A and B are shown apart, each in its own frame.
Chain A
Amino acid sequence: MESLSRFLAFLADAIVNIGDWIRGLLLGAGLADPWVSLIMKAIGAIVVAFFPLMVVIFLIWAYRKVAARMQGRLGPNSSGTWAGPYGILQTFADAIKMLTKEDIRPQGIDKIPYNLAPILVVFASIATWAVMPFGPKLIGTDLNIGIFYILAFSSAALVVFLMAGWSSNNKYATVGAFRSVAQLIGYEIPQLLAVLTVVMVTGSLRMQEIVGQQKIPLLFQLPVTAFIFFLASMAEVNARPFELLEAESELVCGYFIEYSGMKFGMFYLGEFMNSTAVAALFATLFLGGWRGPWVEQAPIMGTIWFLVKMALMLLVWMLIQITLPRLRIDQMLAFNWKFLVPLALANLCIIGLVNKGITEWFPGGVSAWTRAGILLMANVGIFLATWGILAALERREQRRREAWRAAQVGEVEVSA
């Protein structure tokens, strides 16, 4: 009984306890403290960097399996060659196949940018994981600019698409690179404005502080912001309704058309890793990150909640990916600049005013529930106003179309 409760106490905060255990082991081996800290940091960095890679291996399998089931197929399975139960080892087999493929370099490429681009894609997506809060005490580094750091890296990663597209010496790749700029920069604006709204309400850029402020998950306080952020990040990670950089049917994979073997694999990996990062970001910003029942008693539950929320977002991402057709480039840009950006700006202004108003009207402070209620009311107001404006625009468009049709009919009659 004694050992069982000790084991449970160890398990309750397993990751931190394992860390402490390794630290104790190193100190016991006679290493000086700064060196032990350095080694611990290095181990932490390796674990954090491998986490998205591990997730992606299973994410690719899950994605293929879910997609297959939704389309009435079996997906990866063991009916032919054995690939583990439910074909779970299929991704490993694919990865090994990719590693053994010949490294084909087309003529006329720009060697250094061409070879550097796939590495930088993976680098940029791993780098964003450094500030993800996995649990109450589990975070790579709790920077005071946390969320801004993530956005900065995803913004700087844009250049990599240009490098890949330009250096491939292929017109489809170049068009894909051009589109990447039009799409990613465009959708960065609503994403940024949504994050700014979150930062304004929580009052911090620090990831742990944003999680700590969410007694009520922000999804239920700022649903419009969550909606904007979700759509914009779908576009940022190049998911299906906004999948214009790849566009297999017209651009035959866009900016990475000329890549093969493991270099192609790295772009593929980077894309899935970005999706995972965005799902984790959404879980942190809007679903309360590691917050959930029993986290005080057993901090390991925080990590589990975080992973569950992330998996939920990934499932939503998959379902949308599999169901929706692709937008046209002009539709995608119009949707961004004529709908998402104005909505995000209005949302930012209104939530900013309301949030400031709450602080001004209730000088004695206000409970989290009251604040959440008022913010939710403001969101409902924004939603109704948006709906009203869209309906009015639609009616006007319809009238114009009818008038145009009537004019056409009139002309036909005159000429007859």
Chain B
Amino acid sequence: MTVQQVLFFLFGAIALGAAIGMVTARKVFHAALWMLLAFFGVAGLYVLLEAPFFAAAQLFVYMGAIGVLIIYAIMLTRGMMRQRLPRVNDQWWFAGLLAAVLLVVLVWLVWQHPWATTTAAAPEDSLNRLGLTLVDPEGFALPFEVASVLLVMALIGAVTIVRER
């Protein structure tokens, strides 16, 4: 096994183990922390894929922003912080069914998709290419702009909700 493979299994184990820890944690806060660890594992996988920008974005967006948002939401929810809650409610069978179906669909997709593989190294200017593709009309300019409009709408919505009248 090469060093890269060892690291791949290590980060994969972190991500998967943390994901299992998240769904089995008794406290919601612990679940959130497990989730952040899972994000960290995924960031490590991005580093192995020679995509440092995605790794940093993973840290920045998922751990720095979404993680904090989720913890904040937990802290603001009544009774979520101290007591140990039951792990399942009476809709567990439905959620389990949905999760199983999703798992089957994902596994099937991964299985039947012809994954293109290459042994070439990642291009040196991948970051520039990513930036150009995002603003290229032939590339992803439209989804990119739609996403920014969505974020601006969320921003204005937040301001409108908390505005003093």
Contacts and interface: CB of A to CB of B under 8 A. Distances in A.
Interface of A: 110, 113, 143-145, 148-149, 151-153, 155-156, 158-159, 162-163, 166, 174, 177-178, 181, 185, 188, 205
Contact of A149 (B29, B56, B65): B56
B7 interface: no
A145 B64 CA distance: 17
Given A144-B52, A145-B52, A155-B65, A162 B127 contact: no
Q: How many of chain B's residues touch chain A, expressed as a range?
A: 20 to 34
A329 B56 CA distance: 31
Given A152-B64, A159-B68, A166 B75 contact: yes
Nearest to A192: B60
A158 B68 contact: yes
B68 A185 contact: yes
B52 A151 contact: no
Contacts of B65: 155, 185
Contacts, number: 67
Interface of B: 27, 29-30, 33, 36, 52-53, 56-57, 59-60, 63-65, 67-68, 71-72, 75, 81, 124, 127
B67 A159 contact: yes
27 contacts: A110-B27, A113-B30, A143-B52, A144-B124, A145-B52, A145-B56, A148-B57, A148-B60, A149-B52, A149-B56, A151-B56, A151-B60, A152-B57, A153-B59, A156-B67, A159-B33, A159-B36, A159-B64, A159-B67, A162-B71, A162-B72, A166-B75, A178-B72, A181-B68, A181-B72, A185-B68, A205-B127
B68 A162 contact: yes
B60 A156 contact: yes
Given A177-B75, A188-B64, 11 more contacts: A113-B29, A145-B56, A148-B57, A152-B57, A152-B60, A159-B68, A159-B71, A162-B75, A166-B29, A181-B72, A185-B68
A201 B81 CA distance: 46
A136 B66 CA distance: 37
B56 A152 contact: yes
A149 B65 CA distance: 15
B4 to A, nearest CB: 13
A149 B43 CA distance: 12
A185 B72 CA distance: 12
Contacts of B30: 110, 113
Contact of B59 (A156, A181, A188): A156
B127 A144 contact: yes
A205 B52 CA distance: 12
Nearest to A147: B56
